[in-house]
């Protein structure tokens, strides 16, 4: 039973179930549960070919808090990929050693493809500009915790909606609830792809934050900021140029110097338009979408959101190991 896309979630009760278990993971002793007994003796494999801070660390810590262990495999020059081994064979082998695999890959569809070669459940931790289902689960959990509901919300999704995989996964989850309205703010060439806009979804598309907030700022319940996904826009020439660079220069440095664009920043004026109950989320990492001065504002929910990721992933992993599925039977066939 792999978790590859939020499209596998078809009923809101599946989320209720996950969220109540994530709540238990905040303080399991209170419920008479010894968390380190839940995954004792089990090992989680993390396989990835691109950067990760929160997803990797929170999965790792979640597993350790459940009493299990983790092994990390980077698909780089230190793995047998450098000797010509295929990613498919790598996953097949990894699945002989561990109880579940968390996989992040820079190519859309690659995690789903590789899951076919695994003997154990594979969890998509981000596939290129495709999806990032566990991030969306923790985003929805955060909205539920902060606002108290997941229906009748006005949600502003801002930034690179074309390549930000977190919003692709999140918009589906929120679309399971009635009455949600989406303000999609992005440059014209970075709009939300059609495949993620469900039929009949109430949405408007804009290029500027200001106009929307000036008009309906007091109605907005959630502002979800994303960064410009510059790594998805690299041309072949840029990649080759990077590979030929002196070893000390990092990819991010070389890209930052060539095209440092951050399209949207939440300005002081924008912030003034938001009501006290509004919450600002960001999957992080941020570039300059949200000023650091906003971090201490009660409406800034992004660090609580990152912490929630650990509890949601504890709940998710525990269910995998208990062989229970949160999600409907559709889970295996996204
Ligand atoms: C996101 C990702 O990797 O898609 N980060 C995360 O997992 N928390 C967002 C991003 O990289 O912009």
Closest ligand 1 atom to residue 166 Cα is 4
48 lines ligand 1 (CB under 6 A): no
Closest ligand 1 atom to residue 125 Cα is 7
Q: Which residue has the tokens 């007091």?
A: 218
| Residue pair 307/54 in contact by the 8 Å Cβ criterion | no
pLDDT in tens, 60-116: 999 999 999 999 999 999 999 999 999 999 999 999 999 999 999 999 999 999 999
Nearest CA to 190 among 148, 155, 224, 162? 162
CA of 258 to the centre of ligand 1 (A): 21
Helix (H) or strand (E) holding 154: strand 154-158
Closest ligand 1 atom to residue 104 Cα is 3
284 lines ligand 1 (CB under 6 A): yes
Residue 331 has pLDDT above 50, yes or no: no
CA of 283 to the centre of ligand 1 (A): 6
pLDDT in tens, 132-188: 999 999 999 999 999 999 999 999 999 999 999 999 999 999 999 999 999 999 999
Closest Cα to atom 8 of ligand 1: 283
Average pLDDT, the chain: 90
Nearest CA to 4 among 189, 142, 137? 137
């Amino acid at each position: 039973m792999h978790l590859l896309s939020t499209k596998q979630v078809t009923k809101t009760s599946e989320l209720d179930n996950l969220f109540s278990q994530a709540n238990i993971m905040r303080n399991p002793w209170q419920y008479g549960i010894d968390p380190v007994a839940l995954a004792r003796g089990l090992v989680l494999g993390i396989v990835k070919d691109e950067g990760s801070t929160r997803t990797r660390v929170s999965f790792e810590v979640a597993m350790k808090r459940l009493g299990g262990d983790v092994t990390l495999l980077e698909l780089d020059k230190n793995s047998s990929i450098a000797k010509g081994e295929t990613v498919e064979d790598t996953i097949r082998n990894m699945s002989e050693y561990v109880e579940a695999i968390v996989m992040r890959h820079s190519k859309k569809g690659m995690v789903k493809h590789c899951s076919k070669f695994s003997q154990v459940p594979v969890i998509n931790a981000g596939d290129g500009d495709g999806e990032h289902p566990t991030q969306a689960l923790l985003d929805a959990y955060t909205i539920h915790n902060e606002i108290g509901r997941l229906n009748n919300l006005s949600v502003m999704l801002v930034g690179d909606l074309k390549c930000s995989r977190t919003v692709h996964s999140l918009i589906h989850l929120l679309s399971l609830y009635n009455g949600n309205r989406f303000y999609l703010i992005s440059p014209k060439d970075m709009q939300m792809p059609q495949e993620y806009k469900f039929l009949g979804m109430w949405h408007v598309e804009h290029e500027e934050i200001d106009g929307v907030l000036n008009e309906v700022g007091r109605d907005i319940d959630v502002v979800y900021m994303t960064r410009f996904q510059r790594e998805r826009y690299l041309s072949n020439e840029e990649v080759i140029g990077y590979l030929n660079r002196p070893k000390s220069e990092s990819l991010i440095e070389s890209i930052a110097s060539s095209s440092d664009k951050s399209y949207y920043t939440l300005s002081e004026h924008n912030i003034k338009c938001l009501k006290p109950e509004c919450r600002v989320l960001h999957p992080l990492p941020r570039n300059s979408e949200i000023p650091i001065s906003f971090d201490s504002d009660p409406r800034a929910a992004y660090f609580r959101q990152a912490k929630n990721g650990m509890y949601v992933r504890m709940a998710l992993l525990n269910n995998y190991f208990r062989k229970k599925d949160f999600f409907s039977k559709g889970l295996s066939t996204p």
